[in-house]
C-alpha cells in the first residue's frame, strides 16, 4: 500500500489504487459493518491559463481521494479522506462506521452491487500516454498557438488548457474488484475584439496531443472578428442553426432533468417509455466505452457501464440507473452510479447524439431568415418536467438570410422548452465534436431547428 496520497496520485496506478480500496474494505469488515464499499480516485490535474493574450498561470495538483460507504443493516454512513496510509484509512473507517451507527434506517436500502454487474476489465481507450505524460511545455505551446491566431486577427485571447490523468478503483465487501486509468484534456478559448466582438472554441480529448490548438484559435478569432458591431434584432421565434457548443446544453439539460431513473420515479421527468419527445432525426445514446467520447469502464459503484439507447429517433427508450434506483424498478444497474452520498440519483455522463448527413453549409443554407447561434450561456431550468430553460446566446450570434450569414446581432435571451426545440430538428450535421458538458463528456453534431423562441436582447453585444 502507498504510504502517502501524493505517492498514490503521482503513480496514477490502478493496481495501487485497488489495493488501497481493498484495504479500506478489509478494515471496515473488521470494524463489524455488514457491507462496505471503497472508491479511490488518485492522479494529477494540471492547468495552464492565459489572459490578455499572455500565459499567466500554470498550476498542478497531485491528490488522492478515498470515499468509503458502509452499512450497518439499513443504516448507511459515508466518509472520505485524502490520506491513503494505514492510520488515515483506520480513521476513515471509524468515521464512516460512527455515522452509520447514528443515522436513520433507509427503508428501501437495496445493499451494495454484487460482482455479476462488475466491469469485465478496463477500457484501453480511456487512457492516453499523450495526456498522461503531458508537460507544462505542451500546454504552453497550445496556448501560444491560440494566442498567435488571435494576434493574426487583431483580437485578444483568454482561456485554458487542462490535462488530467487518474487511477480509479472500486472494491466492496460483496466481491467487486475493478480498476482502470483514465485521461482527459480540454482546451477552450474566448476571444475578444473591438466593437463588442467575441468568439469561442473548445475541444476535449482523451489524448491532449490530438487537440489542434491552432485551429481552435483561428476558429475563435475569426468568430470574434465577424461578430463585431452587432445590431439589435426584434425578439421572436426564429429558425436557428445551433453550433455543437449550444447542442451540448440541450443534451445536458435532458440528462440532468429527465433521463435519470430517480427523476422518473419522483414524477419530475418528461420521460415515458415509448413516448415521442423529439424529431425522428434525434437519437441519443450513453456509452461509457465509446472511444469517440471520454470513455470509462465502470461507475462509482464499480458496475460496468452499459450502452443506453436513451432516445431512439425521438422516442423514449431507456434511462440511467444506479444500484438503488434499479432495485426499486426491479432491474439491474446500468452503471450510472455517482459517488456516495448521492441524493441526486444516476445520470448519463457519456452522452452522444447520432450524426446526420448535412454539412455545416447545408445547415446554414436551409435558413431563409434565421439565426446561427454559437453557444448558450447562464442557462437554468424553469420547468424541469417540460425541460423549460432560460438563458442567453453568447460569443457569436448571427443573422442568416437566403442561406447566407449577413451579420452579427446582439445576444438574445430566451425561455424555451428544449423538448420543443428538439421536436423541431429539421437537419443534423455529419461532423461531431466531443465537448465537456455539465454532466461529463458529450459528443454532438450541429443541428437546424424549425423554431426557437427569443424573449429579448441583452445589453451587451
Q: Locate CATH 3.30.2290.10 in the chain.
A: 5-192
3-state DSSP percent of the chain in helix, strand and coil, to 5: 30, 40, 35
Q: What is the pLDDT of residue 5?
A: 37
Q: What is the pLDDT of residue 457?
A: 86
Name, in order, each residue with C-beta under 8 angstroms of 181's C-beta and a sequence gap of 6 or more.
12, 13, 14, 43, 122, 126, 127, 132, 165, 166, 167, 168
Q: What is the pLDDT of residue 460?
A: 60
* Owner of C-alpha cell 476513515: 92
Distances (CA, A) of 112 to 3, 36, 72, 90, 337: 28, 8, 12, 21, 11
DSSP 8-state assignment for residue 338: P
**Per-position pLDDT tens, the chain of length 461:** 333 333 344 447 999 999 999 999 999 999 999 999 999 999 999 999 999 999 999 999 999 999 999 999 999 999 999 999 999 999 999 999 999 999 999 999 999 999 987 777 789 999 999 999 999 999 999 999 999 999 999 999 999 999 999 999 999 999 999 999 999 999 999 999 999 999 999 999 999 999 999 999 999 999 999 999 999 999 999 999 999 999 999 999 999 999 999 999 999 999 999 999 999 999 999 999 999 999 999 999 999 999 999 999 999 999 999 999 999 999 999 999 999 999 999 999 999 999 999 999 999 999 999 999 999 999 999 999 999 999 999 999 999 999 999 999 999 999 999 999 999 999 999 999 999 999 899 999 999 999 999 999 887 65
What b/e string do you get for 288-298 counting C-beta neighbours within 10 Å, with b at 16 or more? bbbeebbbbbb
Q: What is the pLDDT of residue 434?
A: 97
Q: What is the pLDDT of residue 139?
A: 98
* Nearest residue to 262 via CA among 58, 138, 62, 108: 108
Q: What is the pLDDT of residue 308?
A: 98
* Residues 263/269, Cβ–Cβ less than 8 Å: yes
Query: How many residues appear in the chain?
Result: 461
For domain 5-192, which CATH number applies: 3.40.50.720, 3.40.50.1370, 3.30.2290.10, 3.10.580.10?
Answer: 3.30.2290.10
Distances (CA, A) of 213 to 172, 257, 416, 442, 454: 42, 33, 34, 20, 33
Amino acid at each position: 500500500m502507498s504510504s502517502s496520497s501524493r505517492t498514490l496520485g503521482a503513480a496514477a496506478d490502478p493496481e495501487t489504487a485497488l489495493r488501497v480500496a481493498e484495504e479500506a474494505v478489509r478494515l471496515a469488515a473488521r470494524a463489524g459493518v455488514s457491507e462496505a464499499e471503497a472508491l479511490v480516485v488518485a492522479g494529477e490535474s494540471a492547468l495552464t491559463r492565459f489572459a490578455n493574450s499572455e500565459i499567466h498561470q500554470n498550476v498542478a495538483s497531485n491528490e488522492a481521494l478515498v470515499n468509503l460507504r458502509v452499512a450497518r443493516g439499513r443504516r448507511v454512513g459515508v466518509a472520505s479522506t485524502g490520506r491513503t496510509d494505514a492510520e488515515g484509512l483506520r480513521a476513515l473507517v471509524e468515521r464512516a462506521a460512527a455515522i452509520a451507527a447514528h443515522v436513520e434506517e433507509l427503508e428501501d436500502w437495496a445493499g451494495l452491487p454484487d460482482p455479476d454487474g462488475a466491469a469485465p476489465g478496463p477500457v484501453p481507450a480511456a487512457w492516453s500516454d499523450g495526456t498522461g505524460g503531458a508537460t507544462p511545455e505542451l500546454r504552453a505551446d497550445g496556448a501560444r498557438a491560440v494566442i498567435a491566431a488571435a494576434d493574426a486577427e487583431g483580437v485578444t485571447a483568454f482561456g485554458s488548457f487542462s490535462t488530467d490523468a487518474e487511477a480509479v478503483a472500486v472494491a466492496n465487501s460483496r466481491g467487486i474488484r475493478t480498476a482502470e486509468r483514465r485521461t482527459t484534456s480540454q482546451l477552450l478559448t474566448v476571444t475578444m475584439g473591438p466593437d463588442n466582438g467575441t468568439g469561442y472554441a473548445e475541444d476535449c480529448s482523451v489524448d491532449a496531443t490530438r487537440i489542434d490548438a491552432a485551429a481552435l484559435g483561428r476558429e475563435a478569432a475569426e468568430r470574434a472578428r465577424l461578430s463585431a458591431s452587432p445590431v439589435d434584432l426584434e425578439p421572436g421565434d426564429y429558425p436557428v442553426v445551433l453550433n455543437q457548443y449550444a447542442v451540448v446544453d440541450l443534451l445536458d439539460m435532458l440528462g440532468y432533468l429527465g433521463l435519470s431513473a430517480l427523476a422518473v420515479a419522483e414524477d419530475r421527468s418528461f420521460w415515458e417509455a415509448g413516448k415521442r419527445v423529439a424529431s425522428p432525426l434525434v437519437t441519443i445514446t450513453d456509452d461509457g466505452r465509446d472511444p469517440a467520447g471520454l470513455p470509462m469502464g465502470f461507475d462509482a459503484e464499480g458496475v460496468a457501464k452499459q450502452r443506453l439507447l436513451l432516445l431512439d429517433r425521438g422516442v423514449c427508450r431507456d434511462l440511467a440507473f444506479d444500484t438503488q434506483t434499479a432495485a426499486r424498478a426491479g432491474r439491474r444497474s446500468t452503471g450510472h452510479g455517482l459517488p456516495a452520498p448521492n441524493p441526486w440519483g444516476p445520470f448519463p455522463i457519456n452522452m452522444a447524439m447520432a450524426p446526420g448527413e448535412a454539412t455545416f453549409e447545408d445547415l446554414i443554407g436551409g435558413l431563409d431568415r434565421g439565426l446561427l447561434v454559437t453557444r448558450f450561456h447562464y442557462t437554468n431550468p424553469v420547468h424541469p418536467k417540460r425541460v423549460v430553460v432560460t438563458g442567453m446566446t453568447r460569443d457569436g450570434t448571427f443573422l442568416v438570410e437566403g442561406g447566407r450569414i449577413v451579420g452579427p446581432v446582439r445576444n438574445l435571451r430566451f425561455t424555451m422548452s428544449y423538448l420543443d426545440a428538439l421536436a423541431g430538428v429539421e437537419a443534423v450535421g455529419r461532423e461531431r465534436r466531443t465537448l465537456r458538458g455539465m454532466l461529463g463528456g458529450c459528443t454532438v453534431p450541429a443541428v437546424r431547428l424549425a423554431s426557437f423562441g427569443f424573449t429579448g436582447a441583452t445589453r451587451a453585444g
